[in-house]
Chains A and B, each alone.
Chain A
Amino acid sequence: MGSSGMIYFSSVDMDSIESLLLNWRTEFPGMGVLVMVPESEKDQVPELQALCRRHRISLCGAIFPQLIYGTEFHRSGICLLRFDTMPYMALHTGVLDTTAESAERIAAGVSPRLDDDTPATLFLLLDGLLPNIGTLLDELYLRLANRVHYAGVNAGSETFQAMPCLFDNHDMVGNGVLAILLKPHRGAVLEHGYQTQAHALPATSTDGNRIIHIDWRPAFEVYQGLVRAQFGVDITRENFYRYAVHFPFGILRANHCTLVRIPVMLDDDNALFCIGEVPAHSMLTLLEAPRVDSLNTLETLRQGLAQLRGGSAANGLLLFYCAGRKQHMGDAAAEEELRIFSEVTQPAAVAGALALGEIGESTLWGYPLFQNATLVTADWGTGQ
């Protein structure tokens, strides 16, 4: 099944994939392909790489917990998205140790391919376990500023186990960034719809995506107290993984746009690990009763898309849905959101994945921010 160069196969059959790719190439000789693979099919990637190498077809892609196609989540199969012309793409490793240098390398690769007249989006696929994504975005913004729109998602395992999750024709890596320059492209829209809670406490000690102390006390102890006081729920070490997804932190900003950080792990020192960096000294709030205002969220996305593309009709849409949000809302509510999303946006096709963190701009041409618990959507750029 498929449309607009976005194809989903419910099972990974290399013959079918080969046939599809060769057909595509007949029509688009300079094509390339972005492939999204669910975690359960990750072992198929080497064979896919070999297939693309054999036919000299440019390949990039990532492994996600689940795929999205149409109005459903899929734990198996494979999603192939065609670039009519393969855009600039580069797989960067070593991002964990050298944030500024990595940003410099990414910017150096992208800059020569930018011109002032063509809108472009720097689409980043990142390993979800990278603790320095916020800093990486800060550094990229210092270098590229408003020359590009910023969008992206985190790949990796739903169980937060380290694994190579980004790939191109030759390599499959972890702790990396796959940078794709979509051109012409007008960016992505991102929304979570969470409501903020007034009471805030400072993250007095952080290290990347690890909150060590809140209000000068071990982070987990404070978290337990906040959840108990505000929601009457007792979170223990034993039930942490079941409950924490429903009580995310919010990082406060002056324009009331809160950044969501879902705690996903707990260590022996009672520090909390989140998906996404928590800047040192951030003021944290526990997000109010986690009701997700789906309709409002989806309407915001629709309006955002319409604003980006200037009112033209929807074609293929990329959609990334935060894994934590799905866990919080439950499978049925999440699929309902997908259905309503398709209904309000009326695209020719929707393809994407369950993501472990999302990147978008706070406003049009705004500062790039790393988010959790959001939906990110964008027109599918078919390359240049």
Chain B
Amino acid sequence: MNRDEVIPILYEMALTIGGESSVGPLLTRTLQRLLYYTSFPAGFICLDLPAPAAVDAEILTARLDAAVGDYQLIRHVGEQLALPRRLLLGPAAKADGQTELLSGMPATQGRYHAFLRLPIGKLGVIILMAPRMPETELPLTLMFEPIMAHLARAVLLCRNNDQYASQLIADKQRADTRAEFLALHDALTGLPNRGLLLDRIQQAMAMATHSGQYGALMTLNIDHFKQLNDYYGYEACDNMLVETARRLETCIREGDTVARFGGDEFMLLIWPLPATQNEAAIQAEQIAQKIQQGLTPPYRLNGRELSASFSIGISLFRAHLDTLETLLRNAETSVYQAKIAGRNTIRFFDPELQSVIMTRLELEADLLRAMPLKEFLLYYQVQADDQGHITGAEVLIRWRHPKRGLVSPAVFIPLAEETGAIVEIGDWVMQMACETLRGWQQHPRMRQLQLAVNVSAVQFHQPDFTDKVCRLMARYGDIAGLLKLELTESVMLDSAEQVIQKIQILKNLGLRFSLDDFGTGYSSLAYLKRLPLDQLKIDQSFVRDITSDPSAAVIIQTIIGMAQNLGLEVIAEGLETKEQLALLMRYGCRHYQGYLLSKPLPIDAFETLFEQGALSLSLKQALI
């Protein structure tokens, strides 16, 4: 053995091993230098092998910790592999002609026939592989012993260092995350701070530029906060601010932002809101009301209960029409106006919007009182067939307001739907219709008359809707076949199966169903085919245009043809002229409703009309 040939290699290997501080690079570099010096083309390292005495099987599972020189093997680094025990375990060894043993290696496809095994102390093993044993006169199995002992210690040191480094990195990441959080959040409440909110407002403004949607900035102050501070102390009031923050978070929608600007000043970004100003204002108002309600329950401070009130100012914005500074100033001004208005108040920055909201709020309050005050009236509009016979009527609701006079259904029905009052109103209408039908049962000529009642989607989707109708039918006896429920296409927005099931339950009682405003919604033919309906009602907009707009005429013909194919009756509403009637008849529509027959009438007038058979003679002739 030539000592001068061995020592330089060991020297360089020792320096390579000593120069690494992490396990991965240590193993890779060590392997690389061994390949460089020995001319073996490939090698791998497995650490944490079981003790030879503990292994009986010929194949053992070991993690491949490093591989160099064999691309197929490199792809398995980090994985557990099934490897021949006789290759991995044992003292340092060098052997040629080991085709069978090495063919047990995964992924190497029999490329290698010679190997050099260098145990890394008791920690693991290095295996170098070659298609044939590289020439050397050096005692490779012996000469690397001190280097392998050195490597074993280096692996342990590097593992400690890796653990320490990863701990440092994790600590730093936590610190960075905390610092980043604090840079953008309020330390007391954890809410976004002014900087983050301003950034989000700018993002909302940028998005609103494209979408045209409104957003709202709400400023919220705790009324008399200074006095609360003086009385309860800063710590208790800090707790109150934290509690307020948590409550606010539960009141906003996903995507909205609640921020604390300092002191008792909270700022909320509500985005997106509808694209029309009034609707946006209404929605913002509703959210503000929800916030006010959420903040109403008393706080517990130092064992005592405290009821606080809040002033909320709202400023609407859209796109970059306003500067950020203007927007913030408006929000501040609006909360100031709320405080002047007596605190515990919601105020819009825009006086016109405030007026719109006030009007709506008043109407809403009046609407809730209308039922007990018996302000609702029912009108009946004639429905007739092509023989000139009155077949029944549609029941229409009117609201006679003591100050406003008659309020259009177009105004109060949507409001009633939003507030939920529609359920009570709808129940009342249906009950009144049943009363009427029962009354008509006493008159032989009127007992065949049918009544159509509008059912709102909100009402229809109430979980107890079918129960209520069933109870009503049980109470009013045998009138079910004379009651026709008119649904709009909006009921179909919900689960088709549920809708069909509900309709079917009620049809089993004898009720009939008509699809109102047909042609304006989003009914799919496939869906329509499955709905157990009795009648389609052609929307009055098509009837109005039937004589002037060829496409309206085509749509009506299509609806009639489709209804005939589905076995459904068709009724046209909004009939006003004889020309319209003539065309409808020509297209095959056999049922009608509209001013040409009669305007909506109070019950007495309707009954008189029916008793007198007062459809004009010329109209009757036209019909017949």
Residues facing A in B57-95 (CB within 8 A) are 68-71, 74
Contact between A254 and B38 (Cβ–Cβ < 8 Å)? yes
Contacts of A200 in B (CB 8 A): 4-5, 8
The segment from A70-78, A141-149, A231-239 that touches chain B is A141-149
Task: Flag B41-66 by CB within 8 Å of A: 1 or 0 each.
Answer: 11000000000000000000000000
Interface pair A144/B71, CB less than 8 Å apart = yes
Tell me, yes or no, whether B354 is within 8 Å of chain A by CB.
no
Question: A252 at interface (Cβ–Cβ under 8 A)?
Answer: yes
B508 within 8 A of A: no
A290 at the B interface (CB under 8 A): no
A366 touches B12 (CB 8 A): no
Select which of B12, B68, B134, B135 is within 8 A of A142 by beta carbon.
B68
- A142-B32, A363-B130 given; A256·B135 CB < 8 A: yes
User: With contacts A142-B28, A281-B15, A363-B134 known, is A253 near B41, CB below 8 A?
Assistant: no
Q: How many residues of B contact A (CB 8 A)?
A: 33
B364 to chain A, nearest CB (A): 67
CA–CA, A146 to B43, complex, Å?
11
In the complex, how many angstroms separate the beta carbon of B419 from the nearest chain A beta carbon? 64
Cβ contact of B131, chosen from A141, A254, A256, A365, cutoff 8 A? A365
Contact B136 A283 (CB under 8 A): no
Q: How far is the CA of A361 from the CA of B32 in the complex (A)?
A: 14
- Contact: A279 with B134, CB < 8 Å? no
Once A146-B42, A254-B5, A363-B39 are accepted as A-B contacts, the answer to whether A141 and B11 lie under 8 Å apart by CB is no
Question: B231 in the interface, Cβ–Cβ < 8 Å?
Answer: no
Task: Give min CB distance, B109 to chain A, whole Å.
Answer: 9
A199 within 8 A of B: yes
Residues A181-235 near B (CB distance < 8 A): 198-200, 202
* Closest chain A residue, CB of each to CB of B75: A145
Does the CB pair A145–B74 fall under 8 Å? yes
A146: which B residues are within 8 A, CB to CB? Answer: 41-42, 69-71, 111
Which residues of the other chain, A, contact B32 by a CB distance below 8 angstroms? 138, 141-142
Contacts of A281 on B, CB cut-off 8 Å?
11-12, 15-16
Q: Does A367 contact B (CB under 8 A)?
A: yes
**Binary contact track B599-612/A, C-beta < 8 Å → 1, others 0:** 00000000000000
Chain B residue numbers with a CB within 8 Å of A199 are: 4
Question: Within the assembled complex, what's the spacing in Å between the Cα atoms of A252 and B136?
Answer: 12
One of A145, A202, A253, A364 near B70 (C-beta < 8 A): A145
**Interchain CB contact under 8 A, A362 and B12:** no
A281 to B140, CA, bound (A): 20
Q: Is B327 in the interface zone, CB < 8 Å from A?
A: no
Q: How far is the CB of A106 from chain B (nearest CB, A)?
A: 15
Judge whether A280 is part of the interface by a CB distance below 8 angstroms: yes
Describe A's contact surface by its main secondary structure.
Answer: loop
How long is the Cα–Cα vector from A24 to B254 in the complex, in angstroms? Answer: 69
CB distance from B412 to the nearest CB of A (A): 69
- Contact across chains for A366 and B41 when beta carbons are under 8 A apart: yes
Tell whether, in the assembled complex, residue A254 and residue B71 are in contact, meaning their CB atoms are under 8 Å apart. no
Could you say which of A138, A256, A279, A364 contacts B12, with CB atoms under 8 Å apart?
A279
Chain A residues with Cβ under 8 A from B70's Cβ? 145-146
Query: Which of B7, B39, B74 has a CB less than 8 Å from the CB of A362?
Result: B39
B446 vs chain A, min Cβ distance (A): 86
Assuming A144-B71, A146-B70, is B9 touching A254 (CB within 8 A)? yes
Report how far A373 CA is from B36 CA in the complex, Å.
19
B42 contact set on A, CB distance < 8 A: 145-146
Interface string of A273-290 (1 = CB under 8 A from B): 000000111110000000
With A145-B69, A254-B136 already in contact, the answer to whether A367 and B4 are too (CB < 8 A) is: no
> When the two chains form the complex, which single residue of B28, B68, B74, B134 contacts A255, counting CB atoms closer than 8 Å?
B134
Report the bound CA distance from A146 to B70 in whole Å.
5
Within 8 A of B (CB), among A347-372: 361-367, 369
Q: State the Cβ distance, B361 to closest chain A Cβ, in Å.
A: 66
Asked whether any CB of chain B lies closer than 8 Å to the CB of A257, the reply is yes
Contact assessment for A367 and B39 in the assembled complex, using a CB-CB cutoff below 8 Å: yes
Q: Chain A: which residue is nearest B32 at the CB level?
A: A138
Q: How many residues of A contact B (CB 8 A)?
A: 30
Total A-B Cβ pairs within 8 A: 91
B422-438 contacts to A, CB under 8 A, are none
A366–B39 touching, CB < 8 Å:
yes
B230 at the interface (CB under 8 A from A): no
A252's partner among B9, B28, B74, B130 (CB-CB below 8 A) is: B9
Known: A142-B32, A254-B37. A283 touches B71 (CB 8 A): no
Q: Which residues of B contact A363 (CB under 8 A)?
A: 39, 41, 130, 134
Residues from 311 to 363 in A contacting B, C-beta threshold 8 Å: 361-363
Q: A361 vs B11: C-alpha distance in the bound complex, in angstroms?
A: 24
Answer whether A145 and B39 are a contact pair too, CB < 8 Å, given A202-B8, A363-B130. Answer: no
A364 touches B131 (CB 8 A): yes
Nearest B residue to A252 via CB reads B8
Q: Which chain A residue shows the least CB distance to B38?
A: A254
In Å, the complex CA distance between A352 and B322 comes to: 74
Assess whether B138 is interfacial by the CB under 8 Å rule. Answer: yes
Q: Which of B513-570 contact A (CB under 8 A)?
A: none
Would you call A283 and B9 a contact (CB within 8 A)? yes
List, in ascending order, chain A residues with CB within 8 A of B71's CB. Answer: 144-147
A257 and B39 contacting across the interface, CB-CB below 8 Å = yes
C-alpha spacing A102/B407, complex, angstroms: 80
Which residues from chain A contact B15 at a C-beta distance below 8 Å? 280-281
Q: Are A255 and B39 in contact (CB under 8 A)?
A: yes
Cα separation A202 to B74 with both chains bound (whole Å): 33
Interface string of B1-33 (1 = CB under 8 A from A): 010110111011001100000000000100010
What residues of B have a CB within 8 angstroms of the CB of A365 in the complex? Answer: 41, 111, 131
Looking at A280, A361, A365, the one whose CB has the most chain B CB atoms below 10 A away is: A365
Would you call B8 and A283 a contact (CB within 8 A)?
Answer: yes
Query: Roughly how many angstroms separate A366 CA and B43 CA in the complex, as a whole number?
Result: 11
In the complex, the 7 A-B pairs of residues with the closest C-beta atoms, listed nearest first:
A283-B8, A145-B71, A254-B37, A255-B39, A362-B39, A147-B71, A255-B136
A residues neighboring B (CB under 8 Å): 138, 141-142, 144-147, 198-200, 202, 252-257, 279-283, 361-367, 369
Can you sample 22 A-B contacts with CB below 8 Å?
A141-B69, A142-B32, A144-B71, A145-B69, A145-B74, A146-B42, A198-B4, A198-B5, A200-B4, A200-B8, A254-B9, A254-B38, A254-B39, A255-B37, A256-B135, A281-B11, A363-B41, A363-B130, A366-B39, A367-B35, A367-B36, A367-B39
In the complex, given contacts A145-B71, A283-B12, A362-B134, what are 14 additional A-B residue pairs having Cβ atoms less than 8 angstroms apart? A142-B32, A142-B68, A144-B71, A145-B42, A146-B111, A147-B71, A200-B4, A254-B5, A255-B134, A257-B39, A281-B15, A363-B134, A364-B131, A369-B36
